[in-house]
Amino acid sequence: MHFLELLVELLLMPILAFVIGLAMVLMMRRIGARIQRRVGPPVLQPIYDIIKLYSKDTQISHGLMHEIGIIMAVGGYIAAETLLPVPGLDGLADKGGAVTLAYMLMIPALGMALGVGQCANPNGSIGISRALTAMLAYDIPFILVIFGASYVYGTTNLAEMISIQQQQGVSSWGIVQMPLLALTALLILPAIMGKHPFEIYVAPAEIATGPMVEMSGKFMGGLFVMQCFQLYTAGVIFTTLFLGGGVYWITFLPKIFLVVAIPMSVAYLFPRYRTEDVLRLMWKWPMLLGLIGLAVVMK
């Protein structure tokens, strides 16, 4: 039937995600610079960085798993993007749904963790330990959000969630239906994206950027690509769950950029949290909000 069409969609979705992700990285760095009253990087800086990293003459590898780890990290995101419906492109949204997506997103993290492990650098392992702990911290409220949304829309299919919100107008948007859960999601968004103030796992001065300590050249480049996907995914998921998704790119893009911009703008104002403080914070306020939100939603 529309097999060819689907194939094109599947190809297009990761590419779009990457391009938009690049722009988001730029935006993030610009926001950071502006907050610090700097000029910030030029427009094409993310591309420069990636090209430079891929074109390094020395690509230091610590073994096969180090390489496979990076492949898993990038490949996993490429695959995950096809589960994420965007205007005009539903991809495989009906084959998996929100729960599948949430677990698919752990594949890149796992790949990266394995790759870092192979490097035999304790700084990397410490970073992974902290990153996994942080994941434990934010995933618990995140799962409340996923559950709440699935409950409200009566489905875990993201494409259906979008169509429900689109058909019934703004009043049916997630943010109106379940404002507390939206707030929860917003609170944990910087942690999901691994950004300030929850980036203890990179802690450059302390554990030499943690997981990235042995990453050079294209390995680092792969992680830069992954970061683009990461920001994009976070933005799109939030938009899909709470902001009605989008039928047109023209309305969709501002939403996802806004979603990413909000935590970024706030985040740079805070100092880093320690690991146990991340846990304590995440398990206190977002969790509380999430539970109340759920109670409200489920009556």
Partner 1 sequence: MNELDKIPVRQEISVAQGSVKRSNPLANVFDELVRFCQSRSMFMLHYCTGCGAIELPPAMTSRFDMERLGIQPMVTPRQADILLITGYVSVKTLKRIILTYEQMPAPKYVIGICSCTVNGGMYWQSYATAKVLKEYLPVDIYIAGCMPRPEAVISGLRDLMGDIKSGSASNWKRYFQNYDHYLGNQQKLFDEDWQTPTDIIAEAEHYGLITDQTLGEHTALLQKHQQPLEALEFSLGEKREKIRGENQ
Partner 2 sequence: MTALDTLLLISAITVGVALLAGNWRVGGWLVTILYALQGAALLMMSGLGYSTLTVVQSSFSIEVLSEQLLWRFDALSWFFALITIGAGLFSSWFASGEWGERYRDNGGSLRLFHGALALNVFTMLVLLASGDLLTLFIGWELVSWASFLIMALAGGKAFGYAMRYISYAFAGAMALLGGLLLIYAEVGSFDFQSLKEAAPQMQASTLWLLVVLLTSGFGVKMAILPFHLWQAKAYAQTPGPGAAFLGAISSRMGLFAFIVVVVQLIGISRLVEMEIPFTFLDAQDLLAWIAVFTIIIPTYIALRQHDARRLLAWHGVGQTGYMLLGIVIANDLGSAGGLMHVFNYASYQAMLFMVVVAVIHRTGTSDLNKLGGLFTRMPLSYLAMLIGIIGLAGLPPMNGFVSKWLIYRSLIVDGSPLLFLGAVIGTLGTILSVYKLIHNIFLGQLRVEHVAVREAPLSMVIPMMALAVIVFVTGYFPGLVLDWTSAVQASIGIPVLAHHLGGVSMKGGLDMIWIVSVLLIGFGFGTLVFFLGGRSRRVHQLDNYAGGHFLTAETRYHYSDNFYPGLMHLIGPWYRNSFEWLERGVISAVDTLSTAMQGLYRNAHPSYLLLAAVVFALSWVIV
Q: Which of residues 31-70 bind partner 2 (CB under 8 A)?
A: 53-65, 67, 70
- State the nearest-atom distance from the C-beta of 213 to partner 2, in Å: 6
| 264, 24 contact by CB (below 8 A) | no
φ, ψ for residue 86 (rounded to 5)?
A: -130, 170
Footprint of partner 2 on residues 85-144 (CB under 8 A)? 92, 94-97, 99-100, 103-104, 106-107, 110, 113-114, 117-123, 125-126, 128-130, 132-133, 135-136, 139-140, 143-144
d(CA 89, CA 85): 6
d(CA 86, CA 221): 26
Q: Which sign, positive or negative, has the C-alpha torsion 85, 153, 263, 202?
A: negative
Q: Does 122 bind partner 1 (CB under 8 A)?
A: no
From the list partner 2, partner 1, none, pick the one residue 140 interacts with, judged by a Cβ distance below 5 to 8 Å according to partner type. Answer: partner 2
Q: Does 184 bind partner 2 (CB under 8 A)?
A: no
- Pair of tokens at residue 276: 């146990």
- State the nearest-atom distance from the C-beta of 30 to partner 2, in Å: 25
Footprint of partner 2 on residues 192-221 (CB under 8 A)? 200, 208, 213-214, 217-219, 221
CA angle, 110 then 156 then 282, to 5°: 55
Q: In the set 75, 87, 117, 217, which binds partner 1 (CB under 8 A)?
A: 217
**If we measure between CA atoms, which residue out of 212, 253, 220 comes closest to residue 235?**
253
Q: In the set 16, 31, 59, 117, which binds partner 1 (CB under 8 A)?
A: 59
